[in-house]
Amino acid sequence: MKKHSLNTKIKKPYIGITCEVQKLKYGFAEFELTCDYRYIQAIFDAGGLPVLIPITNQEKDLSLLLDNISGIVIVGGADIHPKFYNEKIRKEIKPAYRGRVKFEIQLYHLAEKKKIPILAICYGMQLLNVIHGGTLFQDIQSEIKGTLNHQSKRNLFHKVEVQKDTLCYKIFKECSFPVYSRHHQAIKTLGKDLKISAFAQDGIVEAIEKPPYIVGVQWHPEQQLTDPRQQRLFRYFVNQARAKKS
């Protein structure tokens, strides 16, 4: 009798999702990993099979894991310590767990080498920029005059302007739409080989890309699961992963 693998039967790609490290009042609970379920639901809804990726320093095992994963989501998180882009830390910074940052840099390089599609969200987009040699505004409000309040707890939505002749325009098929976006850091200098694909109305970078299979968005598409535009983003990503799997 001919045997079929699970992947062959269901024809759905496995999508790796990174995890945050549980934040304590002082420091981090290093052995407690968390993941907002909405990332998981977004992948299910788009036709993928989500798999959480633990933080590890076992590069060989991580490489083997990636041989069975067809796409990666780098989720949101806290601030990237400016040491990763050779700047001094400002008082407004609340750094993410460094072990996570180092791990995801390693993960990105392995995934890029294997040409695995990547969707980087919020902190993930900023990390993508840093990995490619870019820098960040550590605190938008204190470094740039006249911007929107990107940290507002009242007005969590603002519009983004998608640039034509970009992968993001191909995905969203619209030039302007509202997004759920809350952050206090932003791209300052763009990393090598990356392209800006969307801005906020105040000029803050809201999306970058490295076509055809790497996209970073500053907003949180997983918090707009019923929005057809954000559904298009996840579907495009999962479809790219499915094509990679086949």
Q: Which two tokens stand for residue 220?
A: 């949180």
From the list 81, 150, 183, 220, the catalytic residue is 220
Active-site residue, 4 included = no
Picking from 30, 49, 38, 51, the residue whose alpha carbon sits closest to that of residue 222 is 38
Active-site residue, 122 included = yes
Helix (H, G, I), strand (E, B) or coil at 220: coil
From the list 122, 183, 184, 209, the catalytic residue is 122
Per DSSP bridges, beta strands 28-34 and 20-23 are antiparallel
Q: Is the peptide bond before 211 cis (omega within 30 degrees of 0)?
A: no
From the list 20, 104, 209, 222, the catalytic residue is 222
Active-site residue, 220 included = yes
Instruction: Identify residue 97 by its one-letter amino acid code.
Output: Y
Inter-helix orientation angle 123-131/98-113, to 10°: 70
Burial of 2 (0-12, 13-18, 19+ CB in 10 A): exposed
Catalytic residues: 122, 220, 222
